[in-house]
Structure 1
Amino acid sequence: MDSPPESHLELPPEPPREPILTLPGALTAYVALIALIHLRVLLPPEAENWTIDVFGFIPKRYDSTLLDITFPGGAGAKVWTFVTYSLLHANLSHIGFNVLWLLPFGSALARRFGAVRFFVFMTVTAAAGAVAHLLTHEHAIAPMIGASASVSGTMAAAIRFAFVQGSFLSFSRGDAEAAARVPALSLADALRNKRVLGFLGVWFGVNIIFGVGSIAIGADGASVAWQAHIGGFLAGLMLFSLFDPVPRAAPHAADASSPDGSGRI
């Protein structure tokens, strides 16, 4: 006697999992814009220097008490350079360093905010970095350039949700889209989270070392504008909630410090 045929169950296919570091469109456009602007290095030296003077952030531009110096760009440059400096870079290694940090933090933030919020956020954190640099370099003539203040802002904003269970720095994360959409911690809860505090300690420690040691980077020996980094970082940390479209987590949301969400390891 033949045995009855076995029944076969067809399981629905698993939804595709987006790689965690696939660049969203907003961040791709931002990096492409930086790369396109960097083609200025192909200009004759006089034109390239003019570009830096017109679009770089020069604290002395706002000070008339010491030397009577006329900078290109006029009154308009006193406004737009609070942002345009962040799109200029000294060399490819300068761009590469900033893009390297934007891959995890900027990607998560661009997915979470959407294109418009992301670009406005990058603008606000760039301006905050310029303000911090101006307050600490009141009479400086050397132009400041680079996206590091905005990059620092993305890092600060991202840690508000990066360690929450399911997010991109947690021990158990979902795909890239899900990881960017977990409810964020309030600022007060974030500042009580041990992993966030550890990140803050390392980040501020590295920047203080650069500042106190006057460490230079790059082939041209340009020094790090670490005060601008801190300005952008603090703006990103404190202003995150103004941009965040994802509903806030419960007051004591579980973080990813332990598999059971207890926060204990």
Structure 2
Amino acid sequence: MDDEQPPRQEPKDPRPQRVPAFNLPPIILASLAVLVAVFALMNVPSWSDDRLNWIYFTFSFMPARYAFPLAQQGLEWLWTPVTYSLLHGGVEHIVFNSLWLMVFAAPVARRIGAVRYVIFWILSSAASAFMHAALFWGDQTLLIGASGVVSALMGAACRFAFPVADGRRISMREAHLNPRLGILGALRSRTVVVYIVMWIAGNALVAFGITLAGDSSQPVAWDAHIGGFLFGFLLFALFDRQPRMEEQEAAPLDE
């Protein structure tokens, strides 16, 4: 009887594998596509000012809507706490929100999945809007932009994206596999605390009219940012889907 030959092993490619520069989850790409499509639609040159004003009034968030009986109004109060987050007032506005969205939304979306991500967007958008309404009750100004949602994603990332394993930090591409920190545990993390302090300082400057990035000619709803961040940081556990232990063990580490 002939001896069995061992299975042939293919030689390994010694060249390092290339990692895509923008390896974003499909739901994040869809979010960016929606924001860009809405922005492009609102900047159609042939549209009149009256039509644009109607769009802003119908889909922007206005605190004054909630200072009067809802039965005496149209239905805008029902959807504007969410639709305002899809509108942007200028190129710099949408560019900065999109960049921050790519950074912080990707690990959150990988961790909680597309359906929970959409629910997180809806609820964090409403939380940001009503934080703004609470401080400016009855105000007739219009709130637009995804900054509140982005702030909520930043708050959520503080609960899992910064922990270390065995003294080494897990690669940001696999940050969604980190264990979730409790609220007090996150506040005991030096990295998280430094990040939160810097974030608060940036918003404090905005509150005093000092804009570090973006269009300084437009007012910034710093209060909506705080509402979103608190929502994401304090309530992330309600959306979290803990990774399996074998996935955590397989996560690559940065030296």
TM range, smaller chain: 0.7 to 0.9
The C-alpha deviation readout for 1:157-190, integer Å capped at 9, x for no partner, is 0121111237xxx9643472x3322222122210
The C-alpha deviation readout for 1:170-228, integer Å capped at 9, x for no partner, is 9643472x332222212221011111000010001110111133659755821100000
2:209 is aligned with 1:225: no
CA contact (8 A) 1:18 1:175 kept: no
- Structure 1 counterpart of 2:147, which letter? S
2:243 is aligned with 1:244: no
Aligned to 2:42: 40
Comparing 221-230 with 155-164, greater Cα deviation is found at: 155-164
Aligned to 2:161: 162
The 1:242–1:213 alpha-carbon spacing in structure 2 relative to 1, beyond 3 Å, is same
CA contact (8 A) 2:124 2:232 kept: yes
The 1:107–1:218 alpha-carbon spacing in structure 2 relative to 1, beyond 3 Å, is closer
Equivalent position SS for 1:223: coil
Partner Cα distance (2:94, 2:169) in 1: 31
CA contact (8 A) 2:160 2:180 kept: yes
Offset at residue 64 of structure 1 (A):
3.8
CA contact (8 A) 1:94 1:218 kept: yes
Equivalent position SS for 2:102: helix
2:54 is aligned with 1:50: yes
User: Any unmatched runs of 5+ in structure 1?
Assistant: 1-7, 250-257, 260-265
The C-alpha deviation readout for 1:222-251, integer Å capped at 9, x for no partner, is 1100000000000000111111111599xx
Aligned to 2:195: 199
Partner Cα distance (2:17, 2:142) in 1: 46
Aligned to 1:180: 176
Q: 1:60 aligns with which of 59, 64, 76?
A: 64
Number of aligned residue pairs: give it: 233
Comparing 184-193 with 9-18, greater Cα deviation is found at: 9-18
Aligned to 1:78: 77
Partner Cα distance (1:175, 1:64) in 2: 47
Percent identity among equivalent residues?
Answer: 37
The 1:248–1:12 alpha-carbon spacing in structure 2 relative to 1, beyond 3 Å, is closer
CA contact (8 A) 2:111 2:243 kept: no
CA contact (8 A) 1:37 1:88 kept: yes
Partner Cα distance (1:197, 1:219) in 2: 28
Partner Cα distance (2:53, 2:191) in 1: 43
CA contact (8 A) 2:203 2:222 kept: yes
Partner Cα distance (1:28, 1:129) in 2: 23
The C-alpha deviation readout for 1:139-168, integer Å capped at 9, x for no partner, is 2111000000000001110121111237xx
Offset at residue 41 of structure 1 (A):
2.0
TM-score by length of 1: 0.79
Equivalent positions of 1:103-114 (< 5 A) are: 103-114=102-113
Equivalent position SS for 1:29: helix
TM-score by length of 2: 0.82
Equivalent position SS for 1:140: coil
The CA RMSD over aligned residues, in Å, is 2.9
Partner Cα distance (2:157, 2:13) in 1: 32
Equivalent position SS for 2:42: helix
Partner Cα distance (2:221, 2:91) in 1: 18
The 4+ residue runs of structure 1 with deviation greater than 3 A are: 8-21, 170-175, 213-220
